[in-house]
Amino acid sequence: MNIDRRTFGFGTLAVSLGLSAAELSAGEKKVMNFEVTKTEEEWRKLLTPEEFYVLRKHGTERAHTSPLDKVYDPGIYKCAGCGQELFTAETKFNSRTGWPSFYTPIDGKVGSTTDRSFFMVRTEVHCSRCGGHLGHVFNDGPKPTGLRYCINGVSLKFEPAEASSSTEQSGS
């Protein structure tokens, strides 16, 4: 019996999320009113396999694998799917979890849903512009919010602040 690995993986994900295949495929269509909407095939072409898995399939990267986990330079973290600015470096902290962590997103840029997968009730967070899955938010974060936005580095693109301050030096 030849089981296609991709199909099998999708079925496993659907079961773990407690969703039927119909609900999952409906979620991939333009049901949600996000400003940026694309078909599954369009996202697949636009994103790397890792980005697609996390952003569009609610995947989780392995802990301690994101280079952004160790980055604390000033700058902005944007959505790897649509480019929306999501978090600022000032709100990033070391949670020692192995995932980039922030105590708050930029106002209005992150939405949330209840995630009942893996026998837990967690709050899933996603980009408010494209619906791309980012990670989860927990109540054990530092002041001032007490929140910990535990974010997959794969779903973020970091833009360092100095990119806009070196224009006077370059005379080309």
What is the smallest separation between the CB atom of 69 and Fe ion, expressed in angstroms? 20
Q: In angstroms, what CA-CA distances link 163 with 93, 100, 112, 129, 169?
A: 22, 21, 31, 24, 12
Footprint of Fe ion on this chain (CB under 5 A)?
A: 79, 81-82, 84, 127, 129-130, 132
Contact between residue 123 and residue 114 where contact means Cβ atoms under 8 Å apart: yes
Nearer to Fe ion, 29 or 70 (CB): 29
Q: What CA–CA distance (Å, rounded) separates 95 from 101?
A: 6
Does the annotation mark 79 as catalytic? no
Closest CA to 138 of 120, 154, 156: 120
Which residue of the set 82, 127, 130, 150 is catalytic? 150
Q: How far is the CB of 32 from Fe ion (least distance, A)?
A: 12
Report which of 91, 84, 99 is spatially closest to residue 135, judged by C-alpha positions: 99
What is the closest distance, in whole angstroms, from the C-beta atom of residue 17 to Fe ion in the complex?
Answer: 20
Dist CA 43 CA 29 (whole Å) = 12
Q: Which residues participate in catalysis according to the annotation?
A: 150
